Structure 1
C-alpha cells in the first residue's frame, strides 16, 4: 500500500460496520463498507461512463462497451471470463445507465482475490474487431426486442422530450442508426477517454479484506495511468437531432390493445435534501400497492397500472407518472390523476398517511440492505457521483425526518406543473 494516499477509516457507525476509503496513485478510489459478520462480499467497478457522457457518433457506446468487457482480455478468452464467473459461484453481472456503467459480483470472502483479479482484468479488454462486429448484431437485436415491448420506447421518448435528445435524454442503448454507423476505433477511443482512474470507483461491501483489496487493485490498475488520451470529439450541434431520434409525443403501435401514457416533469436530484420527501409523496400518491391512485384507479378496475415516482440523477431529477388503461378510459383517468395531484398541492396529507408511507419505505429499505450485494450499488454510485458515504442509519433518518410540511412543499414544487406527456400503444 506504499503507493496509496488519503487512506481513511470511519469506525463509529451506528450499524456496527466500518467504512474505509483510499485513493490510489492513478486517481482511482477504493471504498468499502466492511462488515465481518457477513457471509459474503460484493465488489463493483463503478465507471463514469453513461449515455450523458456520449456525443452523437458515440450514442449507445457506453452500453456497447459494457458487452465487450465480457469478450476477452490479453489473459483470458471470452469463454475463460464466463467460465470463471460461473466457477466462483456467486451473482455477477453488469449494467449501463444514463450516468454510469457498473461491473459487479457477489462471492464468498475466500474468493475475494480471484474476483478482484477477474473484474480488474476484464476492465482491460482486447476490443477485438471481429468480436465488435458480432456484438453489434446483438445490440441491434436488443434494441429491436425492447421496441417490441410495451410501452414501445415511450420512456425513451419521454426522456428525450424532457431533457432534450442529448445528455440525460440520450438513449442508453443508442439508436439503430448510431449502432450501425459505429466503428471499433470509436469504441477504443471512448474506452481510453472514460476508463481512467479518475473516472472510476471500486466499491466493496460485506466481509471484505480492505487492505488486501487496496493492494491488489493498486497492483492490477497501475498501468491504467499510461492509457492514451484520445482527442475529444467536437460538441454536438444543438440545432440538429441525432440520427434516429424523434420528438413527437406519440409512439405508434397499431397492434396494441391498451394505451400507455407517460408523464414527465421536474423532480429532485440525488443531492437535493427534498429527495426523501419526494419519495414519500410518490408513495402516498402513486405506490403500486396502496396509494391514492391505487384506490381510485386500480382497485376500481379503471386502469391496469397507475403509479408515479421521482427518479434521481446526480444533478437533476424527474417526476414520472405512468398509466396503462383501456383507450376509452384514458381521458377520465387522466382527469382523476390531475384531481388527486391537485388535492396534494392544495393540502398536505394527514399524519397517519405520512407515517404509513414512512414505515413502508423504511422497512423496505432495511430489508433490501441486509445483503452486501444490495448495499454495494448505493455505496458505489453515491461515491462516484458525490464523493460521499451514507450509511444505513443516515438514510433511514432522512426518511423518518420527513414532515407533512415537507410533503406540501415538494407537492407544490413538482405536482402543480403540467407534465410533458408521451402516449404509446392504441
Structure 2
C-alpha cells in the first residue's frame, strides 16, 4: 500500500510524497507556481523561456554537466510549462535519490548567463515558428485568447515572436526572483522514496532560497489594449492547408469542481478516439479525420473544447452531425451500458498508469501545488465507480448547452459550404 507524507520547510517550500516501497523507481519533481497566466505583456513567454534556461547551467554546473549527470543517473528527466505551472522532473533508481535531489535543486538556481540567454532566444523563436506551421496552426491558442481574453489564461505559453524578441535577461531574472520563491514551489516525490532523507536534503540545499531578492511587481497591463503580436480574429487563413480545422471553446469544470469526473466521463463517452459516439459517426465513416471533445481544467475555472478536422467542403455537414450528437445527449442523457464501459476503461487506465511512479508524480505535485490536496488512487477509483447516469447527464446539460466560441483555420480563400 502507498503512504502519503507531507511537510512544509521553514522557508515555505512544501514537500509531498506518495511512497511505495515495492516500486522499482523513484520520481522527483519541482512544481513551480509560474505559468503564462502569471505574466504581464512584457514577460509574455518568460515562464517557458525560463524553463529552457534552467538546463543551461548553474554556479556549480555547466549546461554540459547538467545533461551529462542526467545521463549518468540513467533516468528520464524533462520539464514542461503550462498556463499555471512549470515542472522539472526525473525518474531514477531509488539508490540515486540523493544525487537527483542535488541535481534538480541546483538547477533551480540557474546562472541565467547572457550568452546562453541569447542562444536560447533563437531556439524559442524557432519553436514558435515551427508550432505555427503545424496543424491546427495556432487555433487552440486563438480560442483561449478570444474566450478568456489575450491575458491571464488566454496568454500564450510560448509567448509571441514579438515578446520573445524584446525580452531581456534582466527581466527574466526579475521574473525568476518573483515567482521562484520557496512558498510558490512544491517538491513532490513518488515511488520508492526515502521521505526523511528527501526532507533533510531539501532543507539543507534550499536554505538560501528565501534570501533571493524580491523581483518586485511588474507594471500592470492596460486592459484596453491588445498585446503586441496578438490577433483576435476568429478565422485563421492558412496558405496551402488541405483540411479545415474547427476549434470550439466554452465553459468547463475547474480542477476543484465536484463534477469534473462526470465531465471527463462524458467526454470519453462522446469523443474517445477508440470508440465513441463521435468516432462511430464521423471517424469510422470517413467523414472527418478528427472529431473529439474534452474538458481542460484550471484552478478556478475550466474550458470545454470541441475539435473537428475534415475537408473544407464537408465542414458544414459534419458540424451538423456533431451538433446533433451533442443535442441527443442533452435531450436523452446517457445510458447505463455506455457509462459502465467508460467507467471500466477509465478505472483500468488509472490503475495501469499508477504502476509508473512518473504518472503519479504529475497528479500528486500538480494537485498539491494548486489545491494543497492529496487524491489517492483509491479516491479516484471511488469517484469513477460512483458516477451515475444522472450525474453524467447533468454534466451534458451544464457543458454542452453553453455559448461557445468558434475558431476556424483553413486555406486562404476557402469557402466552407453550408
Fold conserved between structures, TM > 0.5: yes
Structure 1 residue aligned with 2:415: none
Per the TM alignment, residue 306 of structure 1 is displaced from its structure 2 partner at its CA by 0.3
CA distance in 2, matches of 1:234, 1:144: 28
Structure 2 residue aligned with 1:414: 399
CA distance in 2, matches of 1:369, 1:164: 36
- Answer yes or no: is 1:29 the counterpart of 2:14: yes
Per the TM alignment, residue 366 of structure 1 is displaced from its structure 2 partner at its CA by 1.2
Contact 1:150 1:425 in 2 (8 A): no
Q: Deviations over 1:61-89 (max 9, x none)?
A: 00000000011101000000000001101
- Answer yes or no: is 1:195 the counterpart of 2:180: yes
When normalised by structure 1's length, the TM-score is: 0.96
- Answer yes or no: is 1:327 the counterpart of 2:312: yes
- Answer yes or no: is 1:85 the counterpart of 2:74: no
Q: Deviations over 1:159-203 (max 9, x none)?
A: 101111011110000000000000000000000000001000000
Q: Deviations over 1:313-336 (max 9, x none)?
A: 111111111111011110010011
* Equivalent position to 1:136, from 113, 121, 124: 121
Structure 2 residue aligned with 1:8: none
CA distance in 2, matches of 1:388, 1:318: 22
The number of equivalent residue pairs is 411
Structure 1 stretch displaced more, 405-414 or 374-383: 405-414
* Equivalent position to 1:313, from 277, 290, 298: 298
Pairing 1:41-120 to 2, within 5 Å after superposition? 41-120=26-105
Per the TM alignment, residue 368 of structure 1 is displaced from its structure 2 partner at its CA by 1.2
CA distance in 2, matches of 1:360, 1:353: 11
- CA-based RMSD of the aligned residues comes to 0.7
CA distance in 1, matches of 2:43, 2:340: 46
Per the TM alignment, residue 362 of structure 1 is displaced from its structure 2 partner at its CA by 1.1
* Equivalent position to 1:264, from 249, 257, 260: 249
Structure 2 residue aligned with 1:211: 196
CA distance in 1, matches of 2:359, 2:391: 28
* Equivalent position to 1:240, from 225, 237, 251: 225
Structure 1 stretch displaced more, 41-50 or 222-231: 222-231
CA distance in 1, matches of 2:194, 2:147: 44
Contact 1:152 1:425 in 2 (8 A): no
- Answer yes or no: is 1:285 the counterpart of 2:270: yes
3-state secondary structure, aligned to 2:55: coil
Contact 2:128 2:160 in 1 (8 A): yes
Per the TM alignment, residue 234 of structure 1 is displaced from its structure 2 partner at its CA by 2.2
CA distance in 1, matches of 2:391, 2:130: 42
Per the TM alignment, residue 123 of structure 1 is displaced from its structure 2 partner at its CA by 0.4
Per the TM alignment, residue 230 of structure 1 is displaced from its structure 2 partner at its CA by 2.2
Per the TM alignment, residue 212 of structure 1 is displaced from its structure 2 partner at its CA by 0.4
Structure 1 residue aligned with 2:416: none
**Shift >4 Å, 4+ stretches:** none
Q: Deviations over 1:90-133 (max 9, x none)?
A: 11000000000000000000000000000000000110111111
Per the TM alignment, residue 365 of structure 1 is displaced from its structure 2 partner at its CA by 1.4
Structure 1 residue aligned with 2:344: 359
3-state secondary structure, aligned to 1:198: helix
Contact 2:176 2:215 in 1 (8 A): no
3-state secondary structure, aligned to 2:206: helix
- Answer yes or no: is 1:176 the counterpart of 2:161: yes
Contact 1:265 1:318 in 2 (8 A): yes
3-state secondary structure, aligned to 1:43: strand
When normalised by structure 2's length, the TM-score is: 0.97
CA distance in 2, matches of 1:380, 1:312: 15
Structure 1 stretch displaced more, 357-366 or 88-97: 357-366
- Answer yes or no: is 1:161 the counterpart of 2:167: no
Per the TM alignment, residue 251 of structure 1 is displaced from its structure 2 partner at its CA by 1.3
Structure 1 stretch displaced more, 376-385 or 358-367: 358-367
Q: Deviations over 1:45-73 (max 9, x none)?
A: 00000000000000000000000001110
Per the TM alignment, residue 348 of structure 1 is displaced from its structure 2 partner at its CA by 1.1
Structure 1 residue aligned with 2:378: 393
CA distance in 2, matches of 1:67, 1:245: 23
CA distance in 2, matches of 1:83, 1:208: 23
CA distance in 1, matches of 2:344, 2:191: 26
Contact 1:46 1:102 in 2 (8 A): yes
Q: Which runs of 5+ in 2 are unaligned?
A: 412-418
CA distance in 2, matches of 1:308, 1:134: 38
3-state secondary structure, aligned to 1:192: helix
Structure 1 residue aligned with 2:137: 152
CA distance in 1, matches of 2:363, 2:215: 31
Per the TM alignment, residue 218 of structure 1 is displaced from its structure 2 partner at its CA by 0.4
